[in-house]
Amino acid sequence: MMPDTPSECDDVCQCGSCHPMETEVESLCCHEIAKVHALVPGNEQCITAHQTFQRACLDINVLQIAYYALMEDRPGVIADQEIHRRYRYTAYRQFVRWVWHRLGRKKRTVLPSCVVAAVRDAFPSESYSGFKYPEY
């Protein structure tokens, strides 16, 4: 289990919302990714404060609809019974779709720590898997 406060990642966090992650690769701030930072509203410090993030990635009704669409395209990809795991997976996919539109098959990218923390706070679990490189 990781700490609940961003204190341990102050050296990389510029938005004030990052949380310590399990690996250095995952310890990214939204200000470190140009495409993400470009979306941070001028009056806000963090991408997680953006209304689109709040609606597309944290709203349960939106995530349920996005999940159904995801299942049409890729049946069985996350037919997990644990609802919060489904919501987290779908929220991460929604974030990627919003920022990068489409990464492509077998392409993955590390998400900002603040984004992962916000999603995990909204949909908690006993354990998390963290970033995984694609299997070829």
pLDDT single digits (tens) 4-34: 444 445 677 999 999 888 888 788 899 998 9
- In a domain? residue 44: yes
115 or 126, greater pLDDT? 115
Check pLDDT > 70 for residue 128.
no
Alpha-carbon gap, residue 119 to 86, rounded angstroms: 11
Please name the residues in contact with 16: beta carbons below 8 A apart, sequence gap of 6 or more.
6, 45, 46
Mean pLDDT on 93-98? 92
- In a domain? residue 47: yes
- In a domain? residue 128: no
pTM: 0.82
- In a domain? residue 135: no
- In a domain? residue 134: no
Question: What Cα–Cα distance (Å) separates residue 116 from each residue in 46, 74, 93, 136?
Answer: 13, 23, 12, 25
Q: Which domain holds residue 63?
A: 6-122
71 or 94, greater pLDDT? 94
Asked whether 88 and 94 are in contact (CB, 8 A), the reply is no
- In a domain? residue 131: no
Residue with tokens 């997680």: 48
- In a domain? residue 11: yes
What band does 63 get if pLDDT is binned at 50, 70 and 90? very high
pLDDT for residue 115: 95
What band does 1 get if pLDDT is binned at 50, 70 and 90? very low
Number of domains in the chain: 1
DSSP class per residue in 28-86: --GGGSHHHHTTS-TT-SSGGGSHHHHHHHH-HHHHHHHHHHHHHHSTTTT--S-HHHH
Mean pLDDT on 39-55? 91
> What b/e readout covers 17-54, taking b as 16+ CB neighbours within 10 angstroms?
bbbbbeeeebbbbbbbbeebeeebeeeeebbbbbeebe
